[in-house]
Structure 1
Amino acid sequence: MGRVLGALGGMALACVLAAHAGGDAAAEVAEDVVAPVTMDSFVRVRGTHFVLEGKPYRFAGANFWYGAYLGAPGERGDRARLVAELDQLSAAGIDNLRVLAMSEASGFKRGVRPAIMTAPGQYDEELLQGIDFLLDEMGKRDMKAVLYLNNFWQWSGGMSQYVSWSTGEPVSMHDPDQTGDWNGFMQNSARFYAFPGAQALYRDAITTVITRTNTINGKRYVDDPTVMSWQLANEPRPGSDADGHPNFPVFKQWVHETAGYIRGLAPKQLVSTGSEGAWGTLRSDELFYEAHDTPNVDYLTFHLWPSNWNWMDHHDPAARLASGTVQAMDYIDRHIGLANRMGKPIVLSEFGLDRDKGAYAPAAGTEARDAFYRAVYDRVYERAKVGDAIAGSNFWAWGGRGRTPHADAMWKSGDPFTGDPPQEAQGLFSLFDGDVSTLRIVSAHARAIRALE
């Protein structure tokens, strides 16, 4: 097939336990067989499905937003950790990673530091080399990358920082971690779509990444089949639910034009938006459909956050697990139905749930989360098995060996990265290297979904 499926079953579990024990044992990655890169080497769309090397491509993946940070050279990164974690993920059958490819220096209280874009049009070369290293190592393991190029939210600078550069207004005016005004923050981020200056800076960032040549292996990104897709942003929204409707026309146009720009730069690779689905499109199925009804968007995405959306309880996810799961399954089914109707594949590119009793510590239980993961994977598998448009999933998020050193679990510059971004408690949704029961569930699903024809 040309894809390394990784050692699964008992072998995967053995790798998980070895990593948790702190040893260096991991699945050995076979040396790649040198083969010509053809269009079949790239993930492509055929109707409502993905194909790779002429065969169906379905995947069980992870969000690994900080992967490029670990890949930076020297003390800036942690390449040994990155290699070990890619080995563990591969051994568990996780072969698709969704990664942040651009961050912006900002004055946000909870913004990640350092940033890839240090100032308008200026970039941290060592962090870009982190993407190089990540892609090279992923390629050795036949993994695929989904790289997102912006963020609606504050934790990586994102759209509000572009607004700040365009207007001269400090982001602190709209920082929800300082003001508590999330509605105002979202409306400010949505100003990004209408500012020509912000769009010019953003397109410079897009071009800088997509047209880059990898310093590790000499491949141009646009010629590297490791890159499955470029995403416009993480969770782009028209604005807040209360006030975002007037922004929808410019948001829709932005999706169409930006996706077209990326397609022009990277015609061999796919383009997706990074949308949450209806919840992130003014809670409207039809507006989500309308925003993505463009030939420039190759496939759809949606996210699933039952505790963030108050379908379950952050502090005790088991308390409303049954009712929340019913709502979650309906959300999955609705979006697969929209994808069937549009005739495009769809990916559940984020989903997650808190640990038992809302704990953050890696030692805390995951009984409710495991039940939720099983339900999600079962529904994805059932719908894929009958030929529906669902093509894969990425859980949120891989925390691996990352551990917070702080009692409040909040990230500070220089801390190890976990799966949770800086504005959230570290461990909130992270799947750590020692979460054996959850990894067993992911691995079993990876086996099952790849076996479908």
Structure 2
Amino acid sequence: MTASRRQLLHGLAALPALGAAGPAPKGFITARDGRLSLDGKPYRFVGANLWYGAWLGSEGPSGDRARLARELDRLKALGVTNLRVLGAGERSPAKAAVAPTVQETPGVYDEALLRGLDTLLAELALRDMKAVIYLNNFWDWSGGMPAYLNWAGDGPWFQAGDPNHPWPEYADYSARFYGDAKANALFRRYLRALVGRRNSVTGKAYRDDPTIMAWQLANEPRPGGSEAFGLANLPAYYRWIADTSAIIKTLDPRHLVCTGSEGAVGCLEREACVVEAHRPATIDYVTLHVWPNNWGWIDARNQPKTYAAGEARCRDYVARHIALAKGLNKPLVIEEFGLARDGRAFAPGSATTDKDRFYRAIHDLALADMKAGGPVAGTNFWAWNGEGRAQHRDAWFAEGDRAFVGDPPQEEQGLYGVFDTDASTLAVIRAHADAVRGLV
């Protein structure tokens, strides 16, 4: 055992026992006996993904605080009370990537963007909404693990989708991050800075802010892409999850911590991997993503004929992860799910027949488990576009664009996101929110 890891475990041992009995601080979400709770009552929610919230809240060139307020008001009116947001960003060499970023160079932070996150949290608190903040990214659209590897000199770097490096080369490369000590030292420096931050708007330390529901280690961390590399990398992957979550708990014992995992699809198709990744006591709940188009279960260009079989696979996937969460005695959040618009269109006003059907399917599964007293605590659809619109005819993001949408730069703007004019999809979300709110 290294000296640094011994010190980490010693610090964690000095904390009150995780899950120990005793009153929870008012307003903080807690996880115990396989359920999420808030002030002594079950916490169940309908949520959305809004990765760009801090960007809108910024006083810098990406900022639009008036739009941020409008978007949050729209979401609150729909019954959305929980947002999953990006709390990091590193300069990425990828052609389609977020700009500006929190770290243009290692250890040099864009204070305007960080104040944007402060503003977002302050605005959420005014609306009695909660945030899940992810601290890293397996994918290069926000920099993430490949950016840290690049800074650490662990190369050669190449971007996702590079035809000269076909899948799963990218996933194997990004997953080298877990075992790279230099890359992790850079990441942990930022992690400590953010978790230890004091909000410039409210004056409240992040660790004392009940608006934050959870810190998330990364967006969709995977042990690798190929079976050979991934299996060999599992020890480093598990160790990274345990060590990183322990660091966060040492810095901030009040807030929940989760992985950001997709489930078995992102874990070498092995349910045992999901269990081990979520086993540490410092991981409070299980996460799940459901992407039938991306996984080849539903053909986006032939959805009417492939939908039924794909939905059946999704239902089975969710059911199997509910069982895994029960076995771990931990709550489950379906924190990403989405489907393309009919005909793989991108524009607001294009048909969403299959998408609405898919949303209802996921919502029905979640609601049924909630009614049965199961581990499902909530859902976050991917993602909220709101009044954002693609700025170019091909619908691709370009550096300098400021009309952010929920679809990240690696995807066409409008592919999966929900626009403020998508009346039928909004009705589906509102109906589910009403049903969840009506649970005793």
Interval containing the TM-score (normalised by the shorter chain): over 0.9
> How do residues 376-395 of structure 1 correspond to structure 2 at under 5 angstroms?
376-395=362-381
Q: Which moved more, 1:60-69 or 1:318-327?
A: 318-327
Q: Secondary structure at the match of 1:39?
A: coil
Offset of 1:40 from its aligned partner? 2.7
CA distance in 2, matches of 1:361, 1:76: 23
CA contact (8 A) 2:37 2:43 kept: yes
Q: Which moved more, 1:389-398 or 1:160-169?
A: 160-169
Q: Which moved more, 1:187-196 or 1:143-152?
A: 187-196
**Identical positions, percent:** 49
Letter in 2 for 1:343: N
Q: CA RMSD in A?
A: 1.4
Partner of 1:196: 181
Offset of 1:179 from its aligned partner? 3.4
Are positions 1:233 and 2:204 aligned together? no
Partner of 1:181: 166
CA contact (8 A) 2:140 2:159 kept: no
Are positions 1:359 and 2:345 aligned together? yes
Offset of 1:113 from its aligned partner? 1.0
What TM-score results when the alignment is normalised by the length of structure 2?
Answer: 0.92
Query: Structure 1 174/352 Cα, relative in aligned 2: closer, same or farther at 3 Å?
Result: closer
Offset of 1:217 from its aligned partner? 1.0
Q: Which moved more, 1:407-416 or 1:310-319?
A: 310-319
Q: Secondary structure at the match of 1:76?
A: coil
Query: Structure 1 249/74 Cα, relative in aligned 2: closer, same or farther at 3 Å?
Result: closer
Q: Secondary structure at the match of 1:349?
A: strand
CA distance in 1, matches of 2:399, 2:320: 40
Are positions 1:438 and 2:425 aligned together? yes
CA distance in 2, matches of 1:188, 1:118: 21
Offset of 1:287 from its aligned partner? 1.2
Partner of 1:214: 199
What TM-score results when the alignment is normalised by the length of structure 1?
Answer: 0.90
CA distance in 2, matches of 1:328, 1:214: 40
**Number of aligned pairs?**
416
Partner of 2:321: 335
Partner of 2:42: 56
- 2:412 aligned residue (410, 415, 425): 425
Are positions 1:224 and 2:209 aligned together? yes
Q: Secondary structure at the match of 2:246?
A: helix
- 1:289 aligned residue (256, 263, 275): 275
Letter in 1 for 2:188: R
CA distance in 2, matches of 1:47, 1:182: 40
- 1:129 aligned residue (111, 115, 118): 115
CA distance in 2, matches of 1:76, 1:96: 23
Partner of 2:298: 312
Letter in 2 for 1:212: R
CA contact (8 A) 2:47 2:83 kept: yes
Q: Which runs of 5+ in 1 are unaligned?
A: 1-36
Partner of 1:275: 261
CA contact (8 A) 1:109 1:175 kept: no
Partner of 2:31: 45
Q: Secondary structure at the match of 1:244?
A: helix
Q: Secondary structure at the match of 2:97?
A: coil
Q: Which moved more, 1:433-442 or 1:337-346?
A: 433-442
CA contact (8 A) 1:420 1:429 kept: yes
Once the two structures are superposed, what CA deviation does each residue of 1:352-371 show, in whole Å capped at 9, x if it has no partner? 00001110111101111111
Partner of 1:113: 99
- 1:151 aligned residue (117, 123, 137): 137
